[in-house]
Amino acid sequence: MSIEVKDVTKVYGTQKALDSVSFRIDQGEVVGFLGPNGAGKSTMMKIITSFLPQTSGEVSVCGNDVLLESMEVRRNVGYLPENNPLYHDMYVKEYLLFVAGMYKMKNSEPRVMEMIALTGLEKEYKKKIGALSKGYRQRVGLAQALIHDPKVLILDEPTSGLDPNQLVEIRSLIVELGKEKTVMLSTHIMQEVESVCDRIIIIKEGVIVADDSVSEIKKGAKDVRTIMVEFDKTVIVDDLMKIKGVAETKDLGDNKWLLSTSESEDIRPAIFQFAVDNRLSVLTMNEQEQSLEEVFKELTN
Ligand code: ADP
Ligand code: MG
């Protein structure tokens, strides 16, 4: 188990930012942590990285308790904080050597150059951080998080504020890193989650409202399944409504129909049987997924 969060509550003054949060992340998983602004994402990440103590509950990373064994936790975790705070007056290489020094790494120069190459900073590493574009600063943030070769990466909104090209580049870098490391990243961009993550945890007002694989989450928050079916001939609504399990129909034209169930049962065999009984051919049939945006809105509004 890479990350284990049990019953974690965090109270700031009188405000509860996290309320009995529990989840587990296995080694090698790439998990998207989603939620509206103020949901508690950054707070959870600061607790996992030993930057902030929880009010109650337990958190361990690679088997180490974040309160009792914070040095071990920091050794195993690479953290890109929200807004990627960096020293703008330092040169890229100088800064990375400085970070390596904090981890007491000996002979860190080759490792720093390796990270510069990995994050695509070869042309920029002689510049001051303040002179870099946002996308390149983000790469410096990632290089900083990776320098001690941590097993777990915690990335708080790693792509916020990037232009579309930078977005694609940073995402593919994260996918690459996810092949070897456990990654937890927060975002509110849904496509990001689809292109990068295996699993999604959605948080709302400090409470986890969903925790599942991307495909399960896309099947919908509602207990409704919708099948798109295309027949070779005309059918009438009354006949379709007789198919066991069908609660709603929608005519898409050209003998194409959307058939919805009221429960989460698979009606495809019944549709197929209907076609056989009525001497129809089924030209296409597939289950309609809800877009992640729809699911996210439903769960967090
Ligand atoms: P997110 O990262 O999902 O936007 P945060 O974890 O930053 O959410 O914040 C969760 C809630 O806790 C918010 O309502 C925020 O205002 C509050 N909060 C965050 N940090 C502090 C703090 N240092 N002091 C008081 N309240 C805070
Ligand atoms: Mg945040």
What mean pLDDT comes out for the span 212-226? 77
- CA 168 and chain centroid, separation: 15
Q: Which sequence spans correspond to the domains of the chain?
A: 3-212, 222-291
Pocket residue to mutate for ligand 1, from 10, 15, 156, 157, most atoms within 8 A of Cβ:
15
Q: Give the pLDDT confidence of 253-269 residue by residue, as tens digits.
A: 999 999 998 777 788 99
Give the distance (Å) from ligand 1 centre to CA of residue 51: 14
The residue that leads in pLDDT, 154 or 172, is: 154
Neighbours of 166 (CB within 10 A): 17
pLDDT above 90 covers a percentage of the chain that reads 76
Q: Which CATH architecture has domain 3-212?
A: 3-Layer(aba) Sandwich (3.40)
Give the distance (Å) from ligand 1 centre to CA of residue 141: 22
What mean pLDDT comes out for the span 226-239? 93
Q: Give the pLDDT confidence of 68-108 residue by residue, as tens digits.
A: 999 999 999 999 999 888 999 999 999 999 999 999 998 99
Matching fold, domains 3-212 and 222-291? no
- CA 93 and chain centroid, separation: 30
Q: Quick one: pLDDT band at residue 220, thresholds 50, 70, 90?
A: low
| Closest C-alpha residue for ligand 1 atom 15 | 38
Q: In 3-state terms, what secondary structure has residue 88?
A: coil
What is the predicted pLDDT for the residue at 221? 57
What is the predicted pLDDT for the residue at 263? 76
Q: Quick one: pLDDT band at residue 12, thresholds 50, 70, 90?
A: very high
Nearest ligand 1 atom to the CA of 45 is 6
Ranked by mean pLDDT, the top range of 171-180, 182-191, 211-220 is 171-180
Nearest ligand 1 atom to the CA of 10 is 12
What is the predicted pLDDT for the residue at 76? 97
What is the predicted pLDDT for the residue at 255? 95
14 in ligand 1 pocket by Cβ < 6 Å? no
| Closest C-alpha residue for ligand 1 atom 5 | 40
Helix axes 134-146, 92-102, angle to 10 degrees: 30
Give the distance (Å) from ligand 1 centre to CA of residue 38: 5
245 in ligand 1 pocket by Cβ < 6 Å? no
Q: Give the pLDDT confidence of 99-135 residue by residue, as tens digits.
A: 999 999 989 999 999 999 999 999 999 999 999 998 8
CATH of 222-291 given 3.40.50.300, 3.30.70.980, 3.40.1010.10, 2.40.170.20: 3.30.70.980
Backbone φ and ψ for 214, nearest 5 degrees, come out as -55, -40
187 in ligand 1 pocket by Cβ < 6 Å? no
Average pLDDT score, the chain = 92
Rounded Cα distance between 242 and 239, Å, is: 5
The residue that leads in pLDDT, 271 or 217, is: 271
Nearest ligand 1 atom to the CA of 35 is 3
| 222 pLDDT higher than 80 | no
What mean pLDDT comes out for the span 168-175? 90
Give the distance (Å) from ligand 1 centre to CA of residue 40: 6
In this structure, are residues 112 and 147 in contact, taking their beta carbons and an 8 Å threshold? Answer: yes
pLDDT above 70 covers a percentage of the chain that reads 98
**Global confidence as pTM:** 0.82
Pocket residue to mutate for ligand 1, from 37, 43, 48, 203, most atoms within 8 A of Cβ:
43
What mean pLDDT comes out for the span 236-254? 93
In this structure, are residues 98 and 90 in contact, taking their beta carbons and an 8 Å threshold? Answer: yes
